[in-house]
Amino acid sequence: MALTGLFLILFLVVHLIGNLQLLKSDNGEAFNVYAQFMTSNPLIKVISYLNYAFILIHIIWSIILTRRNRSARGPEGYAVTRNSSHWTSRNMGILGTFIFIFLVIHLRSFWYEMHWGGIPMANYNGTDYKDLYTVVDTAYASIGFVMLYVISMALLAFHLFHGFGSAFQTLGLNHIKYNPMIRIVGVAFAIVVPALFALIPLYMYFN
């Protein structure tokens, strides 16, 4: 869970930097050129396949672990559930399930359209590009869709809030001296990254 989680955290950073180009006032040119590069470059394609595999392993492994933990505890469950651990730690499965539902809707709306949908074309300096920007812009014209993103990003924040620190702990990358720093970076990451993701649909809706 930790290794795949850290890879997905890296993916989120790259994905965010790419998506922030949606905010440029250039009618989508920078974003469309970037999206075309990301779907056609052979090296990026290999990384993409790794990413799909890591997402699946992360989900399947989480189900296996949850089942194993439950059966290890037995049918009586825990007498005390309100302990000192943060509620996000005890609800990673629920948070993960909602993020999975978000991901299915997200991939169907954008990723599927980019690869197999009949999307409009745009021409920059004599070269044709798929106009993914218009697909995203049209989707974010709906307040319901924007709200889905904002709520999902809040859930992602809670998921990362626990996941970031716990990944370091699982991999043994914790040390009494560095733990406070890992915690601060983890909390900052869990707030800033989802907030910037949520800003994109909000900005596009209100502009």
Could you say whether residue 156 binds ligand HEM (CB under 6 A)?
Answer: yes
Q: Which of 6, 35, 155, 157 binds ligand HEM (CB under 6 A)?
A: 35
Contact indicator for 120, 133 with CB cutoff of 8 Å = no
CB nearer ligand HEM, residue 165 or residue 198:
198
By CB under 6 A, residue 97 contacts ligand HEM: no
> Is residue 149 near ligand HEM by the rule CB under 6 A?
yes
134 is a site residue for ligand HEM (CB under 6 A): no
Kindly state the tokens that stand for 195.
């907030």
Residues between 55 and 84 that touch ligand HEM (CB under 6 A): none
Q: Is residue 15 a contact point for ligand HEM (CB under 6 A)?
A: yes
Query: What is the total count of residues that contact ligand HEM (CB under 6 A)?
Result: 22
Q: Which of 1, 20, 33, 38 binds ligand HEM (CB under 6 A)?
A: 38
Structural tokens at position 107: 């991939």
Question: Which residue sits closest to ligand HEM, CB atoms considered?
Answer: 48
Report how far residue 172's alpha carbon sits from residue 146's, in angstroms, rounded to the nearest whole number.
39
Q: Which residue has the tokens 């949908």?
A: 117
Q: Check residue 19 for interaction with ligand HEM (CB under 6 A).
A: yes
Instruction: State how far the Cα of 132 lies from the Cα of 137, in Å rounded to an integer.
Output: 9
Write the CB contacts of 87 (distance below 8 Å, at least 6 apart in sequence).
none
The token duo for 1 is: 């869970």
